[in-house]
Amino acid sequence: MSFRLADAHAHLDEPQLRNQKEAVLSRAREAGVNLIVNVGIGQESSRQVVETAARYAEVFATVGVHPHGAASVHQDDLKNLAQLAAHSKVVAVGEIGLDFYRRRSPEQVQEHWFREQLALAHTLGKPVVIHTREATAATLKILQEGRRHLLGGIMHCFQGSLEEAHAFLDLGFFLSFSGVLTFPKAEPVRQVAKKVPLDRVLIETDCPYLAPQPWRGQVNEPAYVTATAATLAQLHGISTEETARLTWQNTLAAFWLDGKGKNITVAEKSGRT
Ligand SMILES: [Zn+2]
Ligand SMILES: [Zn+2]
C-alpha cells in the first residue's frame, strides 16, 4: 500500500462489528487504514472502546455519552468517563452534542449534558467530537458560549451548509466527512466539502453505519473510508494519495497525536507506516 489512511470516527464495538474485529482490522490494514478513532456513545460503550484501543496499536478511543442517551446520564457517570479518559489512548471526549432529529432525549436534557461534557473535556484537557443533527444553531450557540474553554474539536459526519462550516472552522474545529459524501443525492455536501480548507478536513466511516458507495446499505467498516477519500480527492482535484496524506496529518492534529498534547504519538505506537 503506497499510502496510509485514517478513519476519524468508527464504532468498532457496536454489535455489527464487535465479534469480527480481527477480520475488520485486517481488511482495514490491507486497505491502508492504519489509524482508527473508536468512538464511545455511552458508559458501557466508552469502557469497551478503551479496551479495544488498549488491544490494537492503530486504534484510539474517545469517551462520552451520545445525545440519544442523555436522559439516563447521572452525575456519577462523568466521574467514570474521567477515569476512563486517564488511559493514554483516549484522545477526546465524544461523541457528545445534540440530536433534535430523533429526539430520544428531551432537548433541554441533551443541552445540559452537552454542556457538562464540554466542561469535562476542558477539565481533562482534551478536544471534543461533536454529533449534531437538526440542531446546528443550538450546537453552535453552546459551543460559542463556551468558546473560552474549548480546546478544539471535530464536527463528525458534517453535512451542514458552507456558512455553518465557516462558523465551526472559526471555532478552530475540523470538519469530518463520512460516506455520505459519495451518495448520489449528496451534491450539497460535496459542494461544501469542496470549499473546506484542506488542512481542516477529516474523513470517517461512522461504521457500522453509513457505508459509502458502492457498499451503501451494507455494514460499514474502516476499510471503506477509501471510497470517501477518493471522492474528496476528486472534489479537490488532487490524488487519492495526497488526500490520504493530508487527512492523516489532519487527524493527528485534530486528536493531538502529533505531539501537541500529552498523548503518545502514532509513530511511536503504531507499528506500520
Ligand atoms: Zn454521531
Ligand atoms: Zn458516531
Write the pLDDT tens digit of every residue in 16-42.
Answer: 999 999 999 999 999 999 999 999 999
271 falls in which pLDDT band (50, 70, 90)? very low
Residues 6+ apart with CB under 8 A from 86: none
- The ligand minimizing its distance to the Cα of 11 is 2
- Could you tell me the pTM of the whole model? 0.94
Coil, strand or helix at 144 = helix
| CB-proximal residues (5 Å) to ion ligand 1 | 131
266 falls in which pLDDT band (50, 70, 90)? low
CA of 11 to the centre of ligand 2 (A): 7
Higher-confidence residue of 233 and 269: namely 233
Alpha carbon distance 12, 5 (integer Å): 17
Higher-confidence residue of 262 and 125: namely 125
Grid-cell match 467498516, residue found: 221
CA of 157 to the centre of ligand 1 (A): 7
Residues 157-170: what's their mean pLDDT?
97
CA 43-45-48 angle, to 5 degrees, is 115
CA of 56 to the centre of ligand 2 (A): 20
Residues in the chain: 273
User: Looking at residue 239, what is its pLDDT?
Assistant: 97
- The ligand minimizing its distance to the Cα of 132 is 1
103 falls in which pLDDT band (50, 70, 90)? confident
263 falls in which pLDDT band (50, 70, 90)? low
pLDDT reading at 270 higher than 50: no
Alpha carbon distance 175, 38 (integer Å): 17
Of 50-54, 148-152, 185-189, 255-259, the one with minimum mean pLDDT is 255-259
Q: pLDDT tens digits for 209-231?
A: 999 999 999 999 999 999 999 99
CA of 95 to the centre of ligand 1 (A): 6
The per-residue pLDDT of the chain, averaged, comes to: 94
Residues 71-97: what's their mean pLDDT?
97
